[in-house]
């Protein structure tokens, strides 16, 4: 979990793709991630998201939808995607945020 709250003088996330990389604690053939808005003051809209391992990226959805809104204080799990991961691989999570939050 990453807290993206910035200082008051930092520009907002607006029309950007945010990438987070986390190490895989176990291996497997399917991946899903939890998208959390625990620290938000309002809802955040994610227009597109992808998960990547070793340079191979796969678009992901939540409940079959590519664009989602996550209310403040809540989280959502992505649908599982077929992507082979080994213990210790860096899993990249790309989130396209079309507007400020």
| pLDDT > 70: percent of the chain | 85
79: DSSP letter: P
* H and E: helices and strands count for the chain: 0, 10
4: DSSP letter: -
- Checking if the pLDDT of 12 tops 90, the result is no
What pLDDT is recorded for position 80?
96
What pLDDT is recorded for position 101?
56
What pLDDT is recorded for position 15?
84
What pLDDT is recorded for position 69?
95
pLDDT tens profile 48-82: 999 999 999 999 999 999 999 999 999 999 999 99
pTM: 0.82
Closest listed residue to residue 62, CA positions, set 51, 49, 78, 80: 78
- What would the mean pLDDT of 90-94 be, rounded to a whole number? 95
């Amino acid at each position: 979990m990453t807290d993206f709250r910035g200082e008051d003088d930092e520009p907002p996330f607006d029309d950007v793709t945010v990438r987070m990389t986390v190490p895989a604690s176990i291996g497997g053939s399917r991946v899903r991630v939890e998208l959390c808005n625990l620290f938000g003051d309002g809802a955040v809209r994610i227009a597109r998201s992808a998960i990547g391992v070793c340079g191979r990226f796969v678009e992901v959805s939540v409940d079959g939808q590519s664009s989602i809104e996550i209310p403040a204080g809540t989280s959502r799990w992505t649908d599982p995607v077929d992507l082979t991961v080994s213990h210790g691989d860096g899993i990249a999570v790309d989130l396209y945020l079309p507007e400020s939050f």
